[in-house]
Structure 1
Amino acid sequence: MSEPHSPSKKDVPKHLRRAISNKEALFHVSLNWSGLRIGLDPWMQEVDFSINLVFTLEYALHVYASFDRLEYVVGLFPMVEFAVVLPSWFDLLAAHVAGISSTSTLLQTSRMLRSLRFIRIFRLVQFATSSLQQQAWAAMLTIVSIVFTTAGVVQATEACLVACDDEPRVCKCRDLSFPNLLYFVVVSISTLGYGDIAPVSTSGKFVIAFVILFTFIVVPIQVNRIQATITSHTDYSSAYSEAKLHPHVILTGYMNAESLSIFFGQFFHPSNLNWNERVVILNASQPTSEINKVLHAYDSKVQYIVGSPMLDEDLTRAVLCDASACYVLVNRQSSRPQYADQCCGLITIALRRGNPTCPIYAQVINSRNAATLLKTGASDVVVIGMLKFSIIGRSSQVWGLPTLLHNLLAQCNSDLDSHHSSLQWHRQYLHGYMHGIFLVDIPRTFSGLTFGDLIRFLYDKVSIIPLAMLTDDGVRFMDMEFKLGATADPNLCCKVYAIAKGLTAVEGVTKIPPEQILSYRKGVRRKGKLMSSNSLDEMKKIKPALGNEIGQIRERIINMFTVAEDYDVEAALGLAEKRELADYELLPGEMSEYERFVSLGVPEDVTDHIVVCGFPSDTYHFIKTIREAPMPDDLIPSPAIIFLAPTCIDEREYERLRGFFLDVYFVQGSPINFGDLKKTNIRWAISVLVLTQASEAQYSDPNMVDADAITIVRYIVEISHRTRMPNFVVELDKSSNVKLLSSLANERRTSSAFGLPALVHRNVSHRSPRHHSVLSRRDSFWSSLDDGDGNVDATLVLEEFIASGRVFMNSMLDALMSECYRKPWIAQFFHILITGSINDLEERRLFQVEAPEELIALQYGECFRKFLDMANCTCIGLWRPERGVVLPHPCVFINPPTDLQIEPGDLFYVVGTPFTFASTPNIFTH
């Protein structure tokens, strides 16, 4: 892709002709400045004829090369070019033909035609770089050419070719200087004239009358064209002009206001060090009013360009060649997910073609397309469907998981610790909300420590929890006995993904004195640990990465996603084989497996199952995540899964599930129908998951997209209010709609850890007079949060459904996408955190265990060390059930204060090899 405005050798002759034509026009003015010059010096005639010969040849070539020669010859500008070259040939003819005097009609015509050379200045219009400049130049040059050409023609027609001593009106001629004629023409075409100068010849009067009429017609047309261009020209059609001053990233693909708001809030957060970056949005359509509101909030940092990423000229306007990174967003609400993924693939190809080295982060809906997108040039891919439904699937067994991940990704610009609340759980919850995932550079002074020693040291010194390491094979969870080595960088030991309380804590790692590290290394007493030969061999192969091993890591990710494509092939083969044998195997009236799946429903003895309202777009990975998740008891099988939806998945998708998963059932119906809900045995379910199925296009107000999901919540709470309430997670597309879920709360709360608020508006029904003082303090605390400069609505932080981990918000996916720029491979980190890695022999991942009796009443800091020392696992927080007035609803605490006391019913979030207390009952007793 060539540089914009780069000079080309083929343009040199064109520029040369423009310069010669303009110089020739100025030369004509200089010769006739004081009056019309009748004859030229011989050398002037030779130079004039030589230049004219060049333009004559140019005209002849244009006529010869034109597709329709007659149409070209009768065109306006070709006719002017022809008239301009005639004077030199007339002079040549007069010089070689006797009897042609200076007063002859031929030479008089020649002198008049010479003035048309001023029209050649229209060649300058080609220097314009935009449509607005082109129209402005055209209007200005139109007026200039009219004035100068008319002045030259009038000078030639009014000049006295024969000496005359009478008055000009008697002689019918007068000699006028060029400046006076310029003044005369300007006054004549702009007003009725002052009368101090007037034409005296008949031909002069005719010329002036014609020019005035011509100007009245042409100039308004040019002005209207400028006005039309200005009307159509917006700030969105200009090019990005600050590439040399500020590095920028390009954002393209599908845009909506909420996604942009989340993306910008994350991207420009101080913890991401993007303060000097700019974002250039390249989109084929004009921004909506909602998007404009977001753009105005980041007016100095974001530029919106209307254009297509498929066109080179639009990519040039976005300065793709100098972009630091590119983002390609997918329309996750598309009714045709495959088509949406294909669009992202084409955009990725176009971006990679324009910049071979720029990192490109793309989104896709279907995991089957991820490997293809990586092969076409994407640096990393966020698979919306697989990631979202893996999180929702695991949340059926890991309580509060959506909030845990959301709070680790969400950034808050306000220092929430400075806002004091009378409620203790507020302080503990907000303390965790301030934490996030960071890619931390570990200095070389840490070399020689084990990964477990690194966790202990950083947790004690700066309250940072390392979880995984960036290696040349990608992101990996490390064995606690893995010994930290060195990299090619003389100052770097390794890069780790860690939980930290803001950028200040991360920067504190480099400020730790080397003496403390050396002293800690000497004082470490390491207990011997028996390891299998496979684990030892695996540890020897691990090499820490610097972050620039893009090609090797991409290949690993491609191999991971290629597995999904293999399942598609198996499903297609299975479906084809089934259709071939169907005529021979099925008896008359006998149903196929797919027909039985659709019509038979749920057996009556199914209990302790998971009810899913709606079908996920990636059903395979949804069920696979649930089936592969560790169970709290080794003797308990994976729960059955019941889907409740108006329509079933198609037969092809069913073939992907058949043979891999058992105990999967389907109930055709609506979740807002009590009869259909009862068919799912919802009273005996352990988890209920509500998926958003609608799209914005179905509603006049796009904020109504979650109407079905919120209504389903009300019906499920209605049917379950007299029985135990299962673990409950609802998916919301609009984050602001979580307030409508919280309006379901009331004062009647069950003492069970599984309780869910019933259907009463929190602002009216559950606020008794004795609660007014407490509630007013709570509202004032929320108001203080609103005064901060957070990137999201700060009142959502303490919304009940968020704090308790009962809602999955799609904004998490936009936040993750934004983090890819400064935290490479973070999408892979979250993938292995939720589902584990196929290359990890220990099957490390995030899991949840209930606090055993040995840890009750201990402080959290002590429990953290016990998990690390005795279970070789890392504890990152806990989920606490409601405690009446002290804690009115369940709550997720991330890396809580070390002095937090553990209570019965607490569930620890742990990262490592999953274990159960049934299989290892004495793990904390020694």
Structure 2
Amino acid sequence: MTTTTTMSASTTTSTTDQQTTTIYPCLEERYWSYFLASSLITFFAGLIVILLLRLLRYLGCSQRQRRYDAQMAASLSKSAREIHAGRDPAQIRISCLTKLKWICENLMSGQNVSGRILVSMSCLLSIASLTIYLIDATVAENASETCIPWIENITQQVDFGFNIFFMLIFFIRLIAANDRLLFWLEIASFVDYFTIPPSFVGLAIDRQWLGLRFLRALRLMSFPDILQYLSVLRTSNSIRLAQLMFIFIGVTLTGAGFIHLVETTGDPFNDFNNGQDLTYWEAVYFCIVTMSTVGYGDIYCITTIGRIFMVVFILGALAMFASFIPEMMEIFGRRQRYIGTYEKPSGVRHIVLCGHITYESVQHFLRDFLHEDRDNSNVKCIFLDNKHPDLELEALFKRHFTHVVFFKGSVMNTRDLQRVKLFEADACLVLANPRSRDPDAQDAANVMRVIAVKNYYEDIRVIVQLMRYSNKAFCLNLPSWRPLDQVICLAEMKLGFMAQGCLAPGFSTLMANLFVMRSYKKSAKCDHWQDMYLEGAGMEVYTVYFSPAFYGKTFPQAAQICYTKLNILLLAVAIPHNQQTTVLLNPGSDVIIEKYVKGFFVCQSEDEAKRALYFCLKCHLHLSNRSLIRACKCDDPGYLDPKIRTDIALEDDVDGGFLTIQKSQIKFRNSNGAGTETDLSLPPIRRATPCDVIEGDNPDSGHSSSSEIVDDLRPRTGDPEWLPDIGVRIWLPFGSRPSVTIQTEHGPPLVRIERFDTTGLFHWCPTRKIDDCILEDNKTDDITNSLRDHVILCLFTEKTDPLIGLCNFIMPLRASTLKIEELQPIVLLGDELYLRREWSLLCNFPDIYLKPGSPLNRSHLRHASISTCHMCVILTTNDTNVEDATLIDKEAILCSLNIKTMSSQDKKAISTMIPTSPVGDHQLGHKRDGRYTPLLTELASDHNAQFLDQDDEDDPSTPLYMTQPFACGRAFAASVLDTLMSTTYYNSELLTLIRMLITGGANAELEQQLAEGLGFVEGCQSSEDLYKLRARCRVNLLPLNGELLVSFVNGPYGNMVIGALRQCGILCIGLYRYIDIKQTTAIKHRFVITNPPSDTFLYPTDQVYCLQPYYLKGELEERASRTASTQAMDTQL
């Protein structure tokens, strides 16, 4: 068998030699040894020269010379060295060789234009030379040596020109090398030895030998480095992928070239008689198959040199193949999915989201953004993040693949912004991490993202989430900040929601349901109370322009039409003025509806809200089916009754179509329908001497009483429905301060002066020392015993935890819309050192007390009078190191359950407690033990709501908004704030409305003041300013059996909405009702009903959520009649 194989190989070799000799007769005598000798001689000659030069240099420096140099260096004084070091560089003589070396280094580094050109040409010509070799190896088939004349061989001529250029590059590299011996032994140098000299030999002997020209493929391994010099490769993935690819290709082509050479030529010690027919591409195939360890056996090495080479080659090639290929496939897989450019379809809008991209934040955002009630069929969400999505997030993207695209990158990189087409995007949304341990660093990162986005395209709309309230000013002060850009402060929103939950229990749930998209479908499986709650939870706030049918009507009239005719609830209006939009909440009769005025409507869908846009007095006035209200052809408002047309003189702004009010005057309607012009500027008012304490009216003092002063200052408009610009509470002389008289059991009445900060939006007091406000055991029993109807805030913080910003919780509870007697004391229960860090922004708010301790300690809770509190708010921890996310709320849940099981130990105080709370008697009608202490608990995980009540039947899979604690207003999750981003994108004015409802009136002036570290400073507003600042609408929870609404008991809800609006100017928006209305159980929980149907029956125990103006309409009418009588008396006199 062996003999047969040998004979076959010999026959093949003989046949090959005969064919080659037949094709090229001149090859009877071969000269391959000349080509190889030229390369070896070049290498060894150069190596010998370098070694001889080093030896001569070493021998030239004799021992005496070296000793002399050492002595001179040691004897050189310090001053001489300083003089030598301080010489002018221009005076130092530089050798020509050094200058030449610097030039060569600059050329090879690619740092200048000529260097980049040279390096680029070197890369391109190396690939071109390799291509010529591949052509020659393919055309020559089995002949490694040809004798075509040089003048006729075009490929040889071109390759000769390339080699001349490579020789020039070789000498430049040689001169630039610091160590020429190492340079001479580099792989790139070996490539030049075995490729450049043979080209000159071929020209001399008029022959061509493929030889070792395949080594030019090794230059491909340095190709990624050159691409980095030219800044073509920038990212780590692209650099690594290029390195793997070019190393693999270079090694494969080099190995195939050697196999092709030795197998087609044969062994020299066998007189080249054992070669075989093998093309170059078959050799490539053989190398790849061998590296993959498959080895089909169809091609194998016959020569001894070839076999020895393959033994050595496979050791390194196998390891390379096993490591390089999987890594390349992984990089390729990532590139195909997340690295690319967004191709925007025609007619499809898109938004870019960046920042904190996690499963939780994306899930909450998409749940609201992609809700069926949204008109988002042509809007795509482009997520841009540096990290690859985890499996959970990736699955979420796949479920919404028609609306969501993910790209790996950063908004700080301009190229990535180009990839996601930010220039064509509708908006850029920047998400924050609400559980960050360093809120300031988180905010700084988001502000930098905003700066990068605005730097790329300053007109892009930006909606950014920030953690700290004081950091908002950094965004607001950007030169490229636009009116449509919005900042959502998570601390401000979260604490504001919970603070309003103290003033009106359950209002946090009502508001969360209003701005989160949810659908209502009646279900027979739900209890009656659940069905009523879910119907209200399906309500949302929409903004729509008014139809011409509303033009000329006041806000109360428009609200009545919307409620009775359109079955939608009007909350507020947005009036454009001087290219800005002002949102007015239940403004009363001040505002007359005009063109370009938007309304905020509460209803189930946008189609219902558009009824206000389409409503026509001719076509829709008598329609019983409201769903038939559609756009009609009555576009001209001329059909309206002239008596109800607008009297407001408005003109279109040239720039943006906004409205401006002429001469700052508004015409208000009087009782007979005519318009009377009232100048908003106040008439001259006589000044009075400021006083800090008012002891009471003295009829013998000769001074006018307060009522006389008030009546004297009232403008004489003759309109009984007169109301100032924003509303008033009381008129006082300039310089005086509002005050309230408190009757005490013993001694004269005490007068408490109302003071306000510089903005006039919050109650203010002089700076209080923190030690005077700490409730210590046995030292402040008098303060503790007097605590009634107060608010307790439980904090699970440590001294080193980042600041939450408790001022955002205090501000709504100290808003100037509250009278001073309505301010509830606030007790902060938590770590003392942490509270001291927060105190700098709390020290100017009245009635703030600190209780050092733990909310889990019952003695500390009792010392804070937990049994007599109006509301206890529990904030969860900010611990991000918990492995199980559901355990992050363990302290808050334990505290809530602990308070519920505590029994009251102050029954005497409870029995004598007077319900003076501004929110009514929501918990005072029964025994106030620990089980019924009003609680509002923050949850970081929505699933933990099931643990707050041990007596409910909530399923663990129940969504948060459907759980009983959330429906009753006893739980609040920060996850609902993630939906604010989508809400703000679809409706920019809605964020302004939400801030008005929950923050107590914070404005840009206050934000700038806090950003500068000034804190809250006492203001010196005049009476006129105070009236305008304080007289704004606020949220209240009124008992139905109270003085204002008792006449509507046992009647339909719709009668109360219209009646309260007409009689008192109060706008009702929902109910707070007992779950067990018949009170057959001991558990007395209430639930929230948002905008119930008009036929809902009202029970005496119900409480009503309402938007209450600071000054009620009835009080205004009383003052108007008193003024009219005064005028009549003056006329008679």
User: Equivalents in 1 of 2:943, 2:725: separation in Å?
Assistant: 47
Amino acid aligned to 1:437: V
Q: 678, 693, 709: which is aligned to 2:877?
A: 693
Change (3 A) 1:243 1:195: closer
Q: Give the count of matched residue pairs.
A: 799
User: Which of the two has higher C-alpha Rg?
Assistant: 2
Residues in 2 aligned to 1:197 and 1:719: alpha-carbon distance in whole angstroms: 88
In the alignment, the residues of structure 1 paired with residue 523 and residue 285 of structure 2 have an alpha-carbon distance, to the nearest angstrom, of: 77
Q: Could you tell me which amino acid in structure 2 is paired with residue 374 of structure 1? A: L
The equivalent of 1:500 in structure 2 is 603
In structure 2, what is the Cα distance between the partners aligned to 1:66 and 1:495?
75
Partner SS, residue 880 of structure 1: strand
Q: Deviations over 1:751-789 (max 9, x none)?
A: xxxxxxxxxxx45xxxxxxxxxxxxxxx9xx8xxx9xxx
C-alpha distance 233-732 of structure 1, shift in aligned 2 (>3 A): farther
Aligned residues of 1:859 and 1:902 also touching (Cα < 8 A): yes
Structure 1 match to 2:165: 54
User: CA contact under 8 A between 1:836 and 1:844: conserved in structure 2?
Assistant: no
The alpha-carbon deviation at position 404 of structure 1 amounts to 0.5
Matching residue within 113, 127, 132 for 2:212: 113
TM-superposition CA deviations, 1:154-179 (whole Å, max 9, x none) = 4884599xxxxxxx977748795746
Does the Cα contact within 8 Å between 1:239 and 1:318 map onto a contact in 2? no
Q: Structure 2-normalised TM-score? A: 0.62
Task: Show the 5 A alignment for 1:805-816.
Answer: 805-816=969-980
State the partner residue of 1:222. Answer: 321
Q: What residue is the counterpart of 1:417 in the other structure?
A: 521
Per the alignment, residue 938 of structure 2 pairs with 731
- Give the whole-Å Cα distance in 2 for the aligned partners of 1:186 and 1:286: 36
Change (3 A) 1:263 1:193: closer
Instruction: Please point out which of 239, 243, 261 is paired with 2:363.
Output: 261
Q: 1:501, 1:187 → 2: CA distance?
A: 67
> Is 1:403 paired with 2:509?
yes
Check whether the contact 1:672–1:711 (CA below 8 A) recurs between aligned residues: yes
Contact 1:135 1:222 in 2 (8 A): no
Q: 1:331 aligns with which of 400, 410, 433?
A: 433
Pick closer, same or farther for the CA change 1:70–1:518 going to 2, 3 Å.
farther
* Residue range with higher mean Cα deviation, 273-282 or 426-435: 273-282
The Cα shift of 1:703 comes to 0.6
Q: Which moved more, 1:323-332 or 1:726-735?
A: 323-332
377, 385, 407: which one aligns with 2:491: 385
1:244 matched to 2:344: yes
Q: CA deviation at 1:849?
A: 3.1
Return the offset for 1:367.
1.0
- What is the rounded CA distance, in whole Å, between the counterparts of 2:527 and 2:1065 in structure 1? 34
Residue pair 1:281, 1:304 contacting (<8 A) in 2 also: yes
Structure 2 matches for 1:370-381, cutoff 5 A?
Answer: 370-376=472-478, 379-381=485-487
CA pair 733-185 structure 1, distance change in 2 beyond 3 A: closer
SS of residue matched to 1:910: strand
1:432 aligns with 2:536: yes
Contact kept? 2:896, 2:935, Cα under 8 Å? no
Question: Map of 1:194-213 to 2, 5 A cutoff?
Answer: 205-207=304-306, 209-211=308-310, 213=312
Q: Distance in 2 between matches of 1:197 and 1:687?
A: 87
Post-superposition shift, 1:137? 3.5
1:310 and 1:502 map into 2 onto residues whose CA distance is: 39
What is the CA-CA distance between 1:312 and the residue it aligns to?
5.5
Q: Which residue of 2 aligns with 1:628?
A: 815
1:476 matched to 2:583: yes
State the partner residue of 2:711: none
1:822-854 Cα deviation digits (max 9, x unpaired): 222533321112235468654234333333122
- Flag the 1:706–1:233 CA change in 2: closer, same or farther, 3 A: farther
Check whether the contact 1:820–1:827 (CA below 8 A) recurs between aligned residues. Answer: yes
Contact 2:382–2:404 (8 Å) recurs in 1: yes
Provide the rounded CA distance (Å) in 1 between the counterparts of 2:289 and 2:536: 80
Normalised to the residue count of structure 1, the TM-score between the two structures is 0.74
Amino acid at match of 2:893: I
Deviation, 1:419, is 2.1
1:849 and 1:70, CA in 2 relative to 1: closer, same or farther beyond 3 A? farther
* C-alpha distance in structure 1 between counterparts of 2:301 and 2:1076, whole Å: 101
- Aligned-pair distance for 1:219? 4.4
Give, in whole Å, the separation in 1 of the partners of 2:299 and 2:790: 102
Change (3 A) 1:76 1:324: farther
Aligned residue identity for 1:665 = Y
Is structure 2 residue 1038 aligned with structure 1 residue 849? yes
SS in 1 for 2:985: coil
Which one-letter code corresponds to 2:151 in the other structure? P
Partner residue in 1 for 2:774: 597
CA positional deviation for 1:684: 2.4
User: Aligned ranges for residues 402-801 of structure 1 at < 5 Å?
Assistant: 402-412=508-518, 415-421=519-525, 423-442=527-546, 450-459=554-563, 460-461=565-566, 463=568, 465-469=570-574, 471=576, 472-477=579-584, 479=587, 480-486=589-595, 493-506=596-609, 509=613, 511-515=630-634, 521-522=640-641, 528=670, 533-534=679-680, 593-594=770-771, 597=774, 599=776, 601=780, 602-614=783-795, 617-628=804-815, 630-631=817-818, 636-651=821-836, 653-658=838-843, 660-697=844-881, 699-720=882-903, 723=928, 725-743=932-950, 745=951, 762=952, 794-801=958-965
CA distance in 1: counterparts of 2:149 and 2:138, whole angstroms? 13
Contact 1:446 1:517 in 2 (8 A): no
Q: Which secondary structure state, in structure 2, belongs to the residue aligned with residue 417 of structure 1? A: coil
- 2:374 is aligned, of 250, 257, 272, to 272
Whole-angstrom CA distance in 1 between matches of 2:396 and 2:601:
31
Q: Please give the alpha-carbon distance, in whole angstroms, between the structure 2 residues aligned to 1:919 and 1:443.
A: 32
Shift of 1:221: 0.9
Contact 1:380 1:825 in 2 (8 A): no
Name the counterpart of 1:906.
1102
SS in 1 for 2:680: helix
Residue 550 of structure 1: aligned partner: none
Match of 1:76 among 176, 187, 199: 187
Identity of aligned residues (%): 20
Distance 1:869 1:401 in 2: 24
Q: CA deviation at 1:82?
A: 5.0
Q: Which residue, out of 802, 813, 823, partners 2:966?
A: 802
- CA drift at 1:218: 2.2
Q: Secondary structure at the match of 1:628?
A: coil
1:234 Cα deviation from its structure 2 partner? 6.4
Deviates more, 1:348-357 or 1:601-610: 348-357
Contact in 2 for aligned 1:22/1:120 (Cα 8 Å): no
* Residue segments in structure 1 that go unaligned for 5+ positions in a row: 1-8, 95-100, 161-167, 487-492, 543-561, 579-591, 746-761, 764-778, 787-792
Q: Which amino acid in structure 1 is aligned with residue 344 of structure 2?
A: K
CA deviations 1:541-595 (Å, max 9, x no partner) are: 99xxxxxxxxxxxxxxxxxxx999x99xx99xx99xx9xxxxxxxxxxxxx6536
- Is 2:784–2:864's contact at 8 Å kept on the other side of the alignment? no
Distance 1:307 1:353 in 2: 17
Alpha-carbon offset, residue 815 of structure 1: 1.5
The 3-state SS of whatever aligns with 2:373 is helix
| SS in structure 2 of the partner of residue 251 of structure 1 | strand
Indicate how the Cα distance of structure 1 residues 60 and 265 shifts in structure 2: closer, same or farther if over 3 A, else same: farther
Please report how far the alpha carbon of residue 295 of structure 1 lies from its aligned counterpart in structure 2 after TM superposition.
4.9
- SS at 1:270's partner residue? coil
Amino acid at match of 1:735: D
Q: Deviations over 1:456-503 (max 9, x none)?
A: 4444225253523163334511645534444xxxxxx34444323123
> Is the 8 Å Cα contact of residues 464 and 505 (structure 1) preserved in structure 2?
no
2:791–2:824: 8 Å Cα contact kept in structure 1? Answer: yes
Query: 1:443 touches 1:494 (CA, 8 Å); kept in 2?
Result: no
Per the alignment, residue 369 of structure 1 pairs with: 471
Written as runs of structure 1 = structure 2, the 5 A alignment for 1:849-888 is 849-851=1038-1040, 852-885=1045-1078
Task: Report deviation, 1:906.
Answer: 3.0
What is the Cα-based RMSD across aligned positions, in Å?
Answer: 4.7
Secondary structure in 2 matching 1:737:
helix
Structure 1: distance between partners of 2:946 and 2:846: 38
Cα distance in 2 for residues equivalent to 1:598 and 1:197: 92
Aligned-partner Cα distance in 1 for 2:182–2:1108: 80
